């Protein structure tokens, strides 16, 4: 077996050694995923001290498997699991996370998700199409004459946060502040975060939560046609969202609502330009656009890893997991499984194979997928129509935050 020098695979013991912070890896993870599929699609990642699943059927199955959960503290104590007590310097962060959909399991999750879903329905989303298009056109107006741009800062960074903020009912001018809070907040999910990252995340959580509380009070006095007002008034079987639930939900929608989509705009533009396929064909009509967007989501997904707790003792593929063990699912690798996709490392929008798993599956399936898809399907054709001569001007650099796959910069010229 010929492997790059930063990767070691022992198929006998299913052990893999790989430095997640090595640019040779995170700069081009697909190459490593292909090797893992070939030699060891279920493996113990020594540096992460955890079992990882890369195969499509395993990832898809485990996302739907109710013996696993995103949370375990609803059925087990910290003491039983050997977890440390909550850190006092993360009090605000923990409070903001307390009612995040991503931190809950049924029955709490089902109740909250039903209430949020009622406010967050597709017909609200579809109405945003003209607004998304107008924003994209306006941003391109701003840099078209320059003959060049750095796409992340001039375009990709702005669209998702503006749209989710407008949906919730937060004024556009809060955009930069929301981005700053969100960047500090998601620092908590990085491999090898520092104590300084933790303090910054906690401070951001407090400021963010205080701002949202003020907004909730204001909307109670002056209801509007926005998601926050809908969430305040949404009701299911006589139940409403509490203030703490409203704060957590608003924060998770804002954070989850932009970071991945920003990355995916950059990843998609890069992939399309590097493929050399003609944009006029890729975006020739709505159906072709959808296929192009789905293929970019498959081959260069923005979020690679999600974890699950074993909620009971479980055996998978001869491996014994005990209640309280954690496993990791590599969604981006599942999208490249050669058992499901022919020639998986090649960008082929015409393929009609399994759906990609980039938005997850099961009860935590991305609630924002309709919005993210609408944004991608709207802005990409506009960008390629407006700038038909667009090309990559400088080698793109991938960000050093492995579980997110996004670009540091995307320098374009035309
Ligand atoms: C390309 C963009 C996006 C990708 C790839 C993505 C991916 C995902 C994935 C994989 C999950 C499931 C996590 C798990 O099972 O552990 C998820 C959940 C979630 N996403 Fe997204 N997401 C995107 C955009 C958005 C947007 C635009 C929003 C909000 C407006 C959003 C809000 C959420 C929320 C609230 C959840 C938690 C749902 C639950 O636990 O019930 N996401 N997302």
Q: What integer best gives the mean pLDDT of the chain?
A: 94
pLDDT tens column, 279-330: 999 999 999 999 999 999 999 999 999 999 999 999 999 999 999 999 999 9
Give pLDDT, residue 324: 96
- Residue ranges in 91-157 assigned as alpha helix (H): 91-98, 108-119, 122-126, 129-143, 151
What is the C-alpha separation between 400 and 191, in angstroms, rounded? 10
Q: For 7-413, CATH number?
A: 1.10.630.10
* Ligand 1 pocket mutation, candidates 60, 69, 164, 256, criterion most atoms within 8 A of CB: 256
Structure tokens given for 2 = 């010929």
pLDDT tens column, 142-163: 999 999 999 999 999 999 999 9
Ligand 1 pocket, CB under 6 A: 63, 70, 101-102, 113, 164, 252-253, 256-257, 260-261, 264, 302-303, 306, 331, 358-360, 364, 366-368, 371-372
Q: Which of 173-187, 342-356, 382-396 has the lowest mean pLDDT?
A: 173-187
pLDDT tens column, 44-78: 999 999 999 999 999 999 999 999 999 999 999 99
pLDDT tens column, 99-111: 999 999 999 999 9
Q: What is the largest CA-CA distance in the chain?
A: 67
* Ligand 1 pocket mutation, candidates 307, 366, 373, criterion most atoms within 8 A of CB: 366
What is the C-alpha separation between 1 and 379, in angstroms, rounded? 43
Domain range annotation of the chain? 7-413
Q: Which atom of ligand 1 is nearest to the CA of 372?
A: 27
What is the C-alpha separation between 272 and 292, in angstroms, rounded? 9
Report how far ligand 1's centroid is from the alpha carbon of 122 (Å): 15
Q: What pTM does this model have?
A: 0.95
Q: What percent of the chain has pLDDT over 90?
A: 84
Neighbour-count burial of 10, counting CB atoms closer than 10 A to its CB (0-12 exposed, 13-18 middle, 19+ buried): middle
Give pLDDT, residue 190: 72
Give pLDDT, residue 122: 64
What is the C-alpha separation between 157 and 166, in angstroms, rounded? 15
Cβ proximity of 201 and 93 under 8 Å: yes
In the block, which residue shows the tokens 């087990």? 76
Q: Cα 375 to the chain's mean position, in Å?
A: 14
What Rg, from alpha-carbon coordinates, does the chain have? Answer: 21
């Amino acid at each position: 077996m010929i492997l790059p020098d930063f990767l070691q695979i022992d198929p006998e013991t299913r052990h893999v050694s790989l430095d997640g912070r090595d640019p040779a890896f995170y700069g081009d993870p697909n190459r490593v995923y292909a090797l893992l599929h070939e030699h060891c699609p279920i493996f113990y990642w020594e540096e992460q001290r955890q079992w990882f699943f890369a195969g499509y059927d395993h990832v898809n199955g485990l996302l739907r498997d109710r013996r696993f959960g995103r949370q375990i503290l609803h059925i087990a104590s910290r003491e039983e699991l050997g977890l440390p007590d909550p850190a006092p310097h993360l009090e605000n962060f923990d409070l903001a996370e307390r009612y995040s959909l991503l931190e809950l399991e049924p029955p709490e999750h089902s109740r909250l998700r039903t209430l949020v879903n009622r406010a967050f329905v597709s017909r609200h989303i579809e109405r945003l199409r003209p607004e998304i298009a107008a924003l994209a056109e306006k941003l391109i107006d701003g840099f078209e004459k320059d003959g060049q741009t750095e796409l992340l800062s001039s375009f990709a960074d702005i669209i998702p946060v503006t749209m989710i903020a407008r949906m919730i009912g937060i004024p556009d001018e809060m955009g930069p502040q929301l981005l700053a809070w969100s960047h500090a907040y998601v620092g908590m999910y990085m491999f090898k975060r520092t104590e300084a990252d933790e303090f910054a995340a906690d401070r951001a959580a407090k400021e963010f939560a205080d701002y949202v509380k003020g907004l909730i009070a204001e909307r109670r006095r002056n209801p509007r046609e926005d998601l926050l007002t809908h969430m305040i008034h949404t009701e299911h079987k006589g139940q409403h969202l509490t203030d703490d639930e409203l704060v957590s939900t608003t924060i998770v929608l804002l954070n989850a609502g932009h970071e991945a989509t920003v990355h995916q705009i950059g990843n998609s533009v890069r992939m399309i330009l590097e493929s050399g396929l003609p944009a006029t064909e890729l975006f020739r009509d709505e159906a072709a656009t959808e296929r192009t967007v789905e293929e970019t989501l498959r081959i260069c997904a923005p979020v690679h890893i999600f974890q699950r707790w074993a909620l009971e003792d479980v055996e998978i593929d001869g491996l014994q997991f005990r209640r309280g063990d954690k496993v990791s699912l590599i969604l981006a690798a599942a999208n490249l499984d050669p058992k499901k996709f022919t020639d998986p490392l090649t960008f082929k929008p015409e393929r009609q194979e399994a759906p990609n798993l980039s938005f997850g599956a099961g009860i935590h399936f991305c609630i924002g997928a309709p919005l993210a898809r609408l944004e991608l399907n709207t802005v990409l054709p506009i960008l390629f129509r407006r700038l038909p001569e667009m090309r990559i001007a400088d080698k793109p650099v991938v960000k050093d935050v492995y579980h997110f796959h996004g670009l540091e910069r995307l320098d374009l010229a035309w």
